[in-house]
Amino acid sequence: MTLISVQNLTKHFEYYEKEQGLKSSFRNLLHRKKMVKAAVEQVSFEIKKGEMVAFLGPNGAGKTTTLKMLSGILHPSEGSASIMGFTPWERKNEFKKAMSIVMGQKSQLWWDLPAIDSFYLLKNIYDLSDENYNNTLNELVELLDVKHVLNIQVRRLSLGERMKLELIAALLHSPKVLFLDEPTIGLDFISQKNIREFLKKYNRDTQTTIILTSHYMKDIEDLCDRSIIINKGKLIYDGKISEIQSAFQRKKRMKISLSELLAREQFETLGSIKEYNGYDVVLEVENERFKEIAHLVLEQYPVQDLTIEDIPLEEGISLMYQKGEQDQ
Amino acid sequence: MKKYLLSFNMGIQNAIEYRFNFFLSLISIVFPIIIQTSIWIAAFNHSSEATLYGYNFTQMLLYTLLAALISRLVATGIEYEINEDIKNGGLNKYIIRPINYFMYKLSVFIGSKCLQYVVLSILIAVIVSGTSFYIGEYELGIQKILLSVFILISSCILNFLISYIISAIAFWLTDVSYLFVVTTLLVNIVSGGIFPLEIFGNTVNRIFDFLPFKYTIYFPVNTLNGNLFGAAITNSLFIQWMWIFVIYLLAKLVWRRAMTRYIAVGG
C-alpha cells in the first residue's frame, strides 16, 4: 500500500550574496543581488506502508528541506505530495496527529521543564486517553531505559539522554509516519547503537513507516533496505542499498603486509595501488581475479599478513555523488 | 482545551522560576516616573497657567503614575520570543503539532503575567482609591470598579494583539530584535504611556482617534482618573472592542500569509 507519494517536489530559496569586504557591504545596503538556490529540484518517489527508507546525500543536498516539506513545516515552490491522503503543508490536524518528526539538531522538548512535564503536555495536545498514554509511555521508557532522567530539567541532560527523550516525545501519539532528521548526530558509539536497535525494533513491531536522514553509514546499513540518494537537490538514486554495493563493488580491497621491502613495480600488474610504503600495500583488484591474485601474492611474496575486504559503502556512495555531478 | 490550561500552567511555572526578574522590572518603573515627575514639576513651575494641556499638577502626576503602571500591565514582550521562534526554527515544533500557536502563546503569556496582574492591580487600586478619597473628585462605586477591570482586561487583549501582529515582521526581515525595541517604545508613546496624548496637539490627536493605540493605555488611564465618564466611556469601550475584532482578523490574515513563507532555518 502506497503511503507517501511525492511528485516533482521543488523548493527554491532566495538569498543574497555579499563579496568580501566593507565596501561591498555598503554596496549591498543600496543594491543587493538576489540569487535563487534550488534546494530541492523535481524530486519524485513513492513509499509503502511499513517501509524504512534512508535519505542520503552530502551536506546541503536538500535532505532536510525535503523532510521539512513532507512534515508540513515548509511550503514547496512546486510539486505535490500526498501522505496518507493529506497534503502536508495544508497542516490539517488529522495529518499532524498521524505523523511525527524528530530533528537531531533541534530540540522539541521544553528546555526549562523536566521531560515528564513535556510528555504530559503532549498527551493533552494529542488528546490521548490516560490508559493509552500510560501504556505507551511506560513501554517507551522501558525500551529506551530513561526512567531515571524523566524528572530532570531537559537542559541538564546529556545529548544521548535527550535524544532518547526526543524520540519518546515523537512517538507518544503512535504516529503512522515518522521522519527522523539525523537522529544519531553527535552521539557516542553506544548511544548510536541503542537508538538504532530501538528504531529497528519499533519499525518491526509497529509497522510504522520511517524515513530517516543520516550521515552515519552504519545507521543506513543497519536500518534501511532502501535508500534515496539526493545530491544538489536532485534525486540520483532510489533503490536497494545492497545494489549500490554491487554497482560500485566489482572490486575488492587487499591489504598486504610484507616482511621485506618490495618495489612498487612488483604490484602494478596485479591491480590498482591505493597505498604503498614499501612494507604495506593496499591494492584494489577485480572481483573475478581476487582469488588468483591472493594465491599469487601468498606464494611469491614475503607476506606477513593479508586481508581482503569489500570496498566500504561510504566510498560506493561518494562515487555515486561524483557520477551524479558528471551527469549534470 | 486542557492543552491551553496546561500551557497557562507552564507560564506560571516560568514566572515563578524567573520571579526575581519581575521584581526588578517593578523597580525599574520607578525611574521613568521620577524623571517624568521632575519634568512636570519644572514645567508647572515655569508656567503661569494652573493647568497644562488640560491637566492640573495633581492630575498630571496621577496620569504619569497610572500610565506607567498600566504600560507595565499591558506590556507583552512576546515580539522577542516570537522573533526567536521564527529566526531559530523553534516555530517548527508548533507547526507539526495539533496546537494553535496563537492560543498557545496567549495561554503561556497570561500564565506568566498572573503574578504581575495581581501586584499591579493592587498598586493601581491603591492609587485610584487613595486619590478618590483624598481629592474626592468622583465616586468609586462597585459599578465603576467592575467597569474599570473590564476595560483593563480589554486593553491587555488589544495590546497583545497589536504585539502579535507586529511580531509577524520577523517573517519578512531576519533578526529584527532591535526593531522591536523601537516599535515597543513608539507604540507606548502613541498609546499615551509616557505623556498624556493632549501634548501632541489637536491635529495629531485627530489621527490618534483613528488608530487603535490610545485604547490600550490612554483610555483606561482616563477612565481611572475620572477624566472620562458616562457615554464617553461606553463609546470608547465600543471602539476598543471594534479594534480588538479588526486586529484579530488582520493578525489571522497576516499570520496565514507569513506561515507560507516561513523558511524554517537551522537544523
DSSP B205-225: HHHHHTSSGGGTTHHHHHHHT
Q: pLDDT at residue A3 above 80? A: yes
Residues of A whose CB is below 8 A from B173: none
- Whether A221 and A275 share a structural domain: no
- Other C-beta atoms closer than 10 Å to the C-beta of B70 total 26
Rounded to an integer, what distance in angstroms lies between the CA atom of residue B256 and that of residue B95? 12
Cell of A213: 536522514
- Whether A170 and A266 share a structural domain: no
B48 occurs within a structural domain = yes
Contacts of B147 (CB under 8 A, 6+ apart): B223, B233
Cell of A240: 536497494
A321: distance to nearest CA of chain B, Å?
22
For residue B165, the enclosing domain spans 2-259
Residues of A whose CB is below 8 A from B89: 106
Strands A177-181 and A99-103: parallel
Residue A100 and residue B14: Cβ atoms within 8 Å? no
B58 occurs within a structural domain = yes
Return the SS3 of A53. strand
B267 occurs within a structural domain = no
- pLDDT for res A202: 93
- Whether A70 and A115 share a structural domain: yes
Per the model's pLDDT, the better-predicted residue between A256 and A31 turns out to be: A256
Cross-strand pairs, A83: A4, A86
Residue A72 and residue B267: Cβ atoms within 8 Å? no
Per the model's pLDDT, the better-predicted residue between A178 and A311 turns out to be: A178
- Whether A207 and A279 share a structural domain: no
Residue B266 and residue A68: Cβ atoms within 8 Å? no
Cell of A188: 557516542
Which chain A residue's Cα is nearest to B13? A113
> Looking at the partner chain, which of B13, B89, B95 has a beta carbon nearest the beta carbon of A106?
B89
B217 occurs within a structural domain = yes
- Whether A111 and A71 share a structural domain: yes
What part of A 118-157 touches B (C-beta under 8 Å)?
A: 120-122, 124-127
Number of domains in chain A: 2
CATH of the domain at A315: 3.30.70
Domain final residue pick, A214, A245, A276: A245
Which chain A residue's Cα is nearest to B86? A73
Residues of A whose CB is below 8 A from B2: 124
Which chain A residue's Cα is nearest to B96? A96
- Return the DSSP state at A213: E
Interface test with A, best of B10, B91, B93 (most A CBs within 10 A): B93
Q: Whose CA is closest to B81, among B2, B167, B7?
A: B167
Number of domains in chain B: 1
B266 touches chain A (CB under 8 A): yes
A244 contacts A237 by C-beta, under 8 angstroms: yes
- Whether A43 and A85 share a structural domain: yes
pLDDT per residue as tens digits for the range A193-250: 888 899 999 999 999 999 998 877 777 888 888 989 888 888 888 888 877 767 666 7
A281: distance to nearest CA of chain B, Å?
42
Residues of B whose CB is below 8 A from A110: 10
pLDDT per residue as tens digits for the range A4-37: 999 999 998 877 777 777 777 777 777 777 778 8
B1 touches chain A (CB under 8 A): no
> Looking at the partner chain, which of A112, A124, A181 has a beta carbon nearest the beta carbon of B17?
A112
A7: distance to nearest CA of chain B, Å?
20
Q: Whose CA is closest to A212, among A134, A104, A137?
A: A104
Residues of A whose CB is below 8 A from B263: 13, 74
Domain final residue pick, A210, A245, A280: A245
- Return the DSSP state at A312: P
Interface test with B, best of A99, A108, A121 (most B CBs within 10 A): A121
- Whether A241 and A275 share a structural domain: no
Question: How big is the CA angle at B37 (ends B31 and B38), to the nearest 5 degrees?
Answer: 95
B264 occurs within a structural domain = no
Residue B96 and residue A101: Cβ atoms within 8 Å? yes
B265 occurs within a structural domain = no
- Whether A239 and A259 share a structural domain: no
Burial environment of residue A277 by CB neighbours within 10 A (0 to 12, 13 to 18, 19 or more): exposed
- Whether A15 and A113 share a structural domain: yes
- Whether A219 and A280 share a structural domain: no
Strand arrangement of the beta sheet that strand A99-103 belongs to: A99-103, A177-181, A209-213, A52-56, A226-231, A234-240
- Whether A316 and A173 share a structural domain: no
B32 occurs within a structural domain = yes
Please compute Rg for chain B using Cα positions.
20
Q: pLDDT at residue A56 above 90? A: no
Which chain B residue's Cα is nearest to A180? B267
A67 contacts A213 by C-beta, under 8 angstroms: yes
Per the model's pLDDT, the better-predicted residue between A136 and B18 turns out to be: A136
pTM listed for this prediction: 0.80
Strands (E), B50-179: 51-52, 55-56
A5 contacts A81 by C-beta, under 8 angstroms: yes
pLDDT per residue as tens digits for the range A149-186: 999 988 899 988 999 999 999 999 999 999 999 888 88
Per the model's pLDDT, the better-predicted residue between A145 and A58 turns out to be: A145
pLDDT in tens, chain B (267 residues): 788 998 898 888 878 877 787 778 778 888 888 998 999 999 898 888 888 888 888 889 999 999 999 999 998 888 888 988 888 888 888 889 999 999 999 998 999 888 888 989 999 989 888 887 777 656 677 888 899 999 999 999 999 999 999 999 888 887 677 888 899 999 999 999 988 999 898 999 999 988 999 999 999 999 988 888 888 899 999 999 999 999 999 999 999 888 887 866 543
Residue A110 and residue B10: Cβ atoms within 8 Å? yes
Residue B96 and residue A13: Cβ atoms within 8 Å? no
Q: What percent of chain A has pLDDT over 70?
A: 96
- Whether A234 and A286 share a structural domain: no
For residue A311, the enclosing domain spans 250-327
- pLDDT for res B265: 55
What DSSP string describes B117-140?
Answer: HHHHHHHHHHHHHHHHHHH--S--
- pLDDT for res A203: 93
Domain final residue pick, A218, A245, A272: A245
Q: What are phi and psi of B215, to 5 degrees?
A: -80, 0
B226: distance to nearest CA of chain A, Å?
44
Residue B267 and residue A64: Cβ atoms within 8 Å? yes
B213 occurs within a structural domain = yes
Which chain A residue's Cα is nearest to B8? A121
Residue A126 and residue B97: Cβ atoms within 8 Å? yes
Q: pLDDT at residue A328 above 70? A: no
Burial environment of residue A231 by CB neighbours within 10 A (0 to 12, 13 to 18, 19 or more): buried
pLDDT per residue as tens digits for the range A61-120: 888 899 999 999 988 989 999 999 999 998 999 999 999 999 877 788 888 788 998 899
